[in-house]
């Protein structure tokens, strides 16, 4: 559909942009605007997951890792900005005389921080992806190895209390690149940055899907061997999608910090990574808007249901996985097309593209 | 010398526990290509079953020997239920099955949190498991020895079952070539169900062993699933000897890393080790030789 009517998707992004950038700030209270900002962050990460998983067939269960890279880079900078010339408060608590850890020092610079948010995930995803894809590690192996990395990183951060704040994480940021964070006007500014970044990511993915690369990525997902026989290296195609997804997760993490005001290992571990997947699955992994909208819906569900009824929320999340993946593997966004297909020929059952891809994998 | 032996002994016990946790996972993965992410929760079910058995026959040395078969059957039945209700419909969609079982795991965890106290329940360690045994001049805690012996017994039983029973033959035939097995009259669906029952049951047994070493709570399954999968991946799919060797190796590696650094850094190092290892042998330690293009 995207292919036939590129202008339709593009105008969809336009409508989305108007809603987020103009309507939302006018209509919503500060509290809900801030929440919407948080959902935008998850949506940014979800757009990346949609690219890697939905289009590329790589189930990235550990996007928390890259989310963490961006988030902690940003949080370290904001912490240092708040602390000024002194050592950050939480460090003083554990050892008043110890110097600032060496790896914190460069994050005093705003430029270095912004660079780190972009470079760190690209380097890590590049190395990891190269190592795994070149050796043709895929499917469940890839999914669980990526989750293992998220678990390992979350444990590592939990245990390094003095360097990273441990389980309590980093919080109490007062400034955001010179702006006072408590000021509602500045909060609105931060929201607008996050929303703009989401629109930019959607545009980037829209362009990628239309490009030759997008075709290759889908081809790799559906028939990796054939792509290889045609003379392309599927590893490189997957690597690019994986790195772009990692970059988006990192950007999402970096914006999450000033909006939410805290980052802890709980926000990046296995559970958080699973939550991101849930949104993408709900919205429709292979569609353009599905991942973003799904992630926002799940984010909203978590903050409204999760706070009033945390037990029930976990049940709902579990059921969501089962029901959506069992009955609606291409998510809610596939419903209109399904209904249309049913109207045309009720008895015709089509195998979902993603399922077909995995069928291929089993046979191989 | 002590610096080498102590982590080695410790790691062997840890490896035995990992092996127990990975055994069932490897079996179902090899048989059906399904990664059951709720496997850790089946392990948790086994641990809670041990606790419930102890509530019935309290303060008895028999509680653990009774708990082992009970945990096997209870966890196995949960596995069978999962296979019949959900997994059989997800046939040939391995990644989706993985995600669905994540959802099942979430629900089971939350249910455990509802039924049992959130801080977990105490599983009594029977008296005969206290104390130590002197082997070759080193003191082995009986509890660790018990884990190693239990793992050895389970592996031996599973190997014998796969090798000598008619069902075992059918399982091996299905693993090798499902279509051919089906054509020659093997009821592969029934074989799948029984495999899933046994695989999940083994997780229950692992849960009993885990309850004797660590805590018994709703989060315990989540701790084991990733290391167990790393063991399966490093060992090679559906390869019993690979799983044994990898389980022991990952356990010892974790133990050594933890000895030299910290527990959490050990996990990261073990992860890197498995990635590096997969560079050398992408199919794991042992592979089934096929002509397929993977």
- Can you give the pLDDT at residue A352? 54
User: For residues B179 and B177, what is the distance between their CA atoms, to the nearest angstrom?
Assistant: 6
Closest residue to A136, CB basis, from B263, B274, B282:
B282
Q: Does B118 touch chain A (CB under 8 A)?
A: no
Distance of alpha carbon A312 from alpha carbon A308, whole angstroms: 9
Closest-CA distance, B174 to chain A, in angstroms, reads: 14
* Distance (Å) from the alpha carbon of A41 to chain B's nearest alpha carbon: 23
Q: How confident is the model at residue B294, as a pLDDT?
A: 42
Contacts of B104 in chain A (CB under 8 A): 318, 321-322
Return d(Cα A28, Cα A227) in angstroms, integer.
Answer: 48
Q: Report chain A's terminal Cα–Cα distance, integer Å.
A: 30
Residue B39 in contact with residue B200, Cβ under 8 Å? yes
- Measured between beta carbons, which residues in chain B are less than 8 angstroms from residue A58? none
Which chain B residues are Cβ-neighbours of A349 within 8 angstroms? Answer: none
Pick from A153, A155, A358: which is nearest to B95 by CB?
A: A358
Given an 8 Å threshold on Cβ–Cβ distance, is A128 in contact with B114? no
Interface test with A, best of B34, B106, B112 (most A CBs within 10 A): B106
Contact criterion met (CB < 8 Å) for A318 and B293: no
Q: Is B92 on the interface with A (CB under 8 A)?
A: yes
* Mean pLDDT, each 10-residue run in order, chain A (364 residues): 66 90 88 93 96 93 94 94 84 79 90 96 95 84 88 88 87 87 88 96 93 92 91 94 97 95 90 90 92 94 85 89 90 83 62 54 49
**A83 inside domain:** yes
Length of chain A: 364
- How far are the Cα atoms of A50, A284, A337, A344, B141 from residue A333, in angstroms, in the given order? 13, 5, 8, 19, 57
CB-based contact B93 A270, cutoff 8 Å: no
- C-beta of residue B197 within 8 angstroms of C-beta of residue B77: yes
CA distance A283 to A276: 11
Supply the pLDDT for residue A350.
52
Residue A154 contacts B where some CB pair is shorter than 8 Å: no
In this predicted structure, what is the pLDDT of residue A60?
Answer: 93
**Subunit contact B267:A156, Cβ cutoff 8 A:** yes
A153 located within any domain: yes
Residue A3 has φ and ψ, to the nearest 5°, of -75, -40
Domain limits for position A173 = 2-327
Which span out of A268-272, B108-112, B139-143, B167-171 was modeled with the highest average pLDDT? B108-112
From residue A141, alpha-carbon distances to A271, B35, B145 in Å are 18, 9, 32
Does any domain span residue A355? no
Q: Domains in chain A: how many in total?
A: 1
- What is the arithmetic mean of pLDDT over B126-149? 82
> Which chain B residues contact residue A274 at CB under 8 A?
102, 106
Question: How far is A175 from A173, CA to CA, in rounded Å?
Answer: 6
Number of A:B CB contacts under 8 A?
A: 136
Look-up of token digits 């799983």: B243
CB contact under 8 A, A156 and B268: yes
Closest residue on chain B to A145 (Cα): B230
State pLDDT tens for residues A234-290: 999 999 999 999 999 999 999 999 999 999 998 888 888 888 999 999 999 989 999
d(CA B113, CA A255): 33
Q: Is A127 in the B-facing interface, judged by CB distances under 8 Å? A: no
Which residues of chain B does A281 touch, with a Cβ-Cβ cutoff of 8 Å? 99
Residue from B22, B34, B86, B96 to probe the interface with A (highest A Cβ count within 10 Å): B96
Nearest to A264 by CA among A114, A153, A116: A153
Average pLDDT over residues B239-261: 89
The pLDDT, as a whole number, for residue A1 is: 44
CA distance A144 to chain B (A): 7
At A354 the pLDDT is 55
Residue B240: the pLDDT is 84
Residue A198 lies in a domain: yes
User: Tell me, what's the ipTM?
Assistant: 0.85
Q: What percent of chain B has pLDDT over 70?
A: 95
Query: A21 and A175 in contact (C-beta within 8 Å)?
Result: no
Please identify among residues 15-54 of chain B the ones whose CB lies closer than 8 Å to any CB of chain A: 29, 33, 35
Higher-scoring residue by pLDDT: A114, B34:
A114
Asked if the structure places residue A135 within a domain, the reply is: yes
For testing contact with chain B, the best of A61, A124, A145 (most B CBs within 10 A): A145
Q: Which residue of B has its CA nearest to A363?
A: B292
Domain contains A290 = yes
Decide if A347 is inside a domain: no
**pLDDT at res. B289:** 58
With CA atoms as reference, the chain B residue closest to A322 would be B100
- A1–chain B Cβ distance below 8 A for any pair: no
Which residues 292-351 on chain A approach chain B with CB closer than 8 angstroms? 311, 314-315, 317-322, 325-326, 329
Q: Is the pLDDT of residue B238 over 90?
A: no
CATH number at residue A123: 1.10.3470
Nearest to B107 by CA among B84, B89, B82: B82
Q: Is A362 a member of any domain?
A: no
Query: Which runs of consecutive H residues, i.e. helices, occur in chain A?
Result: 6-18, 24-27, 30-49, 64-83, 89-94, 110-134, 139-159, 161-164, 184-210, 212-222, 224-229, 234-260, 270-283, 290-308, 310-327, 335-344, 353-363
Q: By the CB < 8 Å criterion, does A235 face chain B?
A: no
B65 at A interface, C-beta within 8 A:
no
A187-235: pLDDT as tens digits: 999 999 999 999 999 999 999 998 999 999 999 999 988 999 999 999 9
């Amino acid at each position: 559909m995207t292919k036939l009517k590129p202008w339709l998707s593009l105008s969809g992004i336009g409508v989305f942009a108007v809603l987020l950038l103009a309507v939302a700030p006018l209509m919503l209270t500060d509290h809900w605007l801030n929440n919407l900002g948080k959902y935008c962050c998850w949506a940014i990460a979800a757009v990346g997951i949609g690219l890697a998983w939905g289009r590329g067939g790589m189930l990235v269960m550990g996007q928390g890792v890259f989310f963490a890279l961006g988030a902690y880079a940003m949080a370290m900078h904001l912490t240092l900005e708040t602390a000024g010339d002194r050592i950050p408060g939480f460090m003083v608590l554990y050892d008043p005389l110890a110097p600032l850890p060496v790896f914190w020092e460069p994050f005093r610079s705003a430029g270095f921080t912004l660079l780190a948010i972009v470079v760190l995930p690209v380097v890590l995803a590049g190395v990891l992806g190269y190592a795994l894809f070149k050796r043709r590690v895929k499917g469940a192996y890839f999914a669980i190895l990526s989750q293992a990395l998220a678990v390992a990183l979350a444990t590592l951060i939990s245990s390094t209390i003095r360097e990273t704040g441990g389980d309590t994480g980093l919080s109490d940021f007062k400034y955001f690149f010179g702006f006072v964070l408590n000021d509602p006007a500045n909060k609105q500014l931060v929201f607008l940055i996050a929303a703009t970044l989401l629109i930019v990511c959607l545009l980037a993915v829209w362009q990628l899907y239309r490009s030759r690369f997008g075709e290759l990525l889908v081809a790799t997902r559906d028939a990796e061997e054939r792509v290889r026989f045609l003379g392309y290296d599927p590893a490189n195609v997957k690597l690019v999608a994986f790195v772009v997804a990692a970059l988006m997760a990192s950007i999402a993490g970096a914006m999450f910090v000033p909006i939410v005001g805290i980052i802890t290992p709980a926000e990046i571990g296995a559970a958080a990574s699973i939550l991101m997947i849930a949104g993408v699955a709900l919205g429709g992994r292979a569609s353009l808007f599905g991942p973003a909208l799904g992630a926002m819906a799940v984010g909203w569900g978590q903050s409204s249901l999760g706070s009033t009824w945390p037990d029930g929320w976990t049940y709902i999340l579990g059921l969501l996985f089962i029901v959506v993946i069992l009955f609606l593997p291409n998510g809610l966004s596939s419903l209109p097309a399904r209904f249309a297909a049913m109207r045309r020929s009720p008895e015709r059952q089509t195998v979902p593209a993603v399922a077909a891809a995995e069928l291929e994998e089993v046979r191989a | 010398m002590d610096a080498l032996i102590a982590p080695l002994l410790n790691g062997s016990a840890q490896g035995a526990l990992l092996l127990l946790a990975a055994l069932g996972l490897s079996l179902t993965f090899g048989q059906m290509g399904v990664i059951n992410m709720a496997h850790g929760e089946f392990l948790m079910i086994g641990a809670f079953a041990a606790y419930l058995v102890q509530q019935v026959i309290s303060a008895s040395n028999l509680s653990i020997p009774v708990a082992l078969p009970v945990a096997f059957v209870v966890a196995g039945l949960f596995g069978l239920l999962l296979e019949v209700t959900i997994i059989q419909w997800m046939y040939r969609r391995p990644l989706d099955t993985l995600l669905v079982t994540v959802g099942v795991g979430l629900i089971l965890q939350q249910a455990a949190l509802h039924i049992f106290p959130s801080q977990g329940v105490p599983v009594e360690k029977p008296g005969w498991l206290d104390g130590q045994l002197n082997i070759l001049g080193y003191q082995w805690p009986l509890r660790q020895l018990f884990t190693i012996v239990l793992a050895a017994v389970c592996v031996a039983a599973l190997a014998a079952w796969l090798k000598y029973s008619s069902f075992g033959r059918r399982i091996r035939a299905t693993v090798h070539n499902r279509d051919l097995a089906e054509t020659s009259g093997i009821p592969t669906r029934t074989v799948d169900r029984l495999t899933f029952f046994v695989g999940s049951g083994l997780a229950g047994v692992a849960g009993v062993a885990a309850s004797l070493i660590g805590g018994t709570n709703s989060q315990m399954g989540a701790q084991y699933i990733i290391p167990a999968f790393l063991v399966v991946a490093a060992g090679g799919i559906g390869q019993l000897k690979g799983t044994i060797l990898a389980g022991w190796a990952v356990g010892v590696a974790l133990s050594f890393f933890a000895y030299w650094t910290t527990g959490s850094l050990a996990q990261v190092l073990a992860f890197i080790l498995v990635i590096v290892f997969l560079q050398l042998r992408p199919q794991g330690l042992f592979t089934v030789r096929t002509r397929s293009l993977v």
